[in-house]
């Protein structure tokens, strides 16, 4: 079964709007795990507009499923990740002021930089995933520099899903086939939701994990987080 990792950034965004501790990010992460989520994802940014460094430190001691920290691999980020020792670090190419992730790495053009970062994180016992577009060439490049996994940027799939789901998923299937052939893991994330997730999962030859935040938190406003996680897990069952 494909694992569900809940990105809790938006919970921290809501908390930070009042400058207090409501909602409680740590409590929310624990609840997500208790309700069946198999991982917790955070994306700390330099301006701490949602997840803070303190959140990362607390969650590193709290999360009992897989803890995934994603972000641009600046020196500060690398130091934070090594100290927190999560199960997985996901490297994204976002600029510090990016609103959200909008593209995967050009791994070939950044191979030496990424190779060095991957080596440091793996030496610390951390699994490393590289955020890429649905391109077999990028999957091969990531594998060649030592990445344990790639995470496919799925917004193009989500944007095209309503018009033609089969056509929308084709490049992701090819990337998944290449990951399976190379023997590296495959994650996916960005704009996956209850409408498009089941078809995506059923179409993919390999899919280890999905990381979903915005849609889950939005659905939870109407459904509650327990029911929302159950609905997403149902989409991921064989």
The answer to whether the CB of 68 falls within 8 A of the CB of 40 is yes
Catalytic residue among 43, 66, 151, 178: 43
43 in active site:
yes
Mapped onto helix, strand or coil, the DSSP state of residue 81 is helix
- Dist CA 14 CA 24 (whole Å): 10
Catalytic residue among 50, 66, 190, 209: 190
Catalytic residue among 70, 151, 178, 209: 70
What stretch of H or E contains 75? helix 75-84
| Cis amide leading into 72 (omega within 30) | no
The answer to whether the CB of 5 falls within 8 A of the CB of 40 is yes
Residue with tokens 């991921």: 236
Q: Taking the CB of residue 21, how many other CB atoms lie within 10 A of it?
A: 10
214 in active site:
no
The catalytic residues are 43, 70, 190
């Amino acid at each position: 079964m494909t694992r569900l990792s809940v990105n809790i950034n938006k919970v921290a965004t809501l908390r930070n709007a009042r400058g207090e501790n409501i909602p409680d990010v740590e409590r929310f992460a624990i609840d997500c795990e208790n309700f069946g989520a198999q991982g917790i994802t955070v994306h700390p940014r330099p301006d701490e507009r949602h997840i803070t460094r303190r959140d990362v430190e607390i969650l590193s001691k709290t999360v009992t499923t897989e803890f995934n920290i994603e972000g641009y691999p600046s020196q500060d980020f690398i130091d934070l990740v090594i100290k927190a020792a999560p199960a997985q670090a996901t490297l994204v190419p976002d600029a510090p002021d990016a609103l959200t992730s909008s593209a995967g790495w050009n791994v070939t053009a950044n191979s030496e930089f990424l190779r060095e970062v991957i080596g440091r994180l793996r030496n610390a016992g951390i699994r490393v995933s590289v955020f890429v577009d649905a391109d077999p060439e990028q999957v091969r490049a990531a594998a060649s520099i030592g990445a344990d996994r790639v995470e496919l940027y799925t917004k193009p799939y989500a944007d095209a899903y309503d018009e033609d789901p089969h056509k929308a998923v084709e490049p992701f299937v090819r990337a998944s086939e290449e990951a399976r052939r190379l023997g590296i893991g495959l994650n996916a994330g960005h704009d996956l939701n209850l409408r498009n997730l089941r078809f995506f999962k059923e179409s993919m030859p390999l899919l280890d994990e999905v990381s979903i935040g915005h849609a889950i938190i939005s659905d939870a406003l109407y459904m509650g987080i327990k029911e929302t996680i159950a609905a997403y897990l149902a989409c991921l069952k064989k």
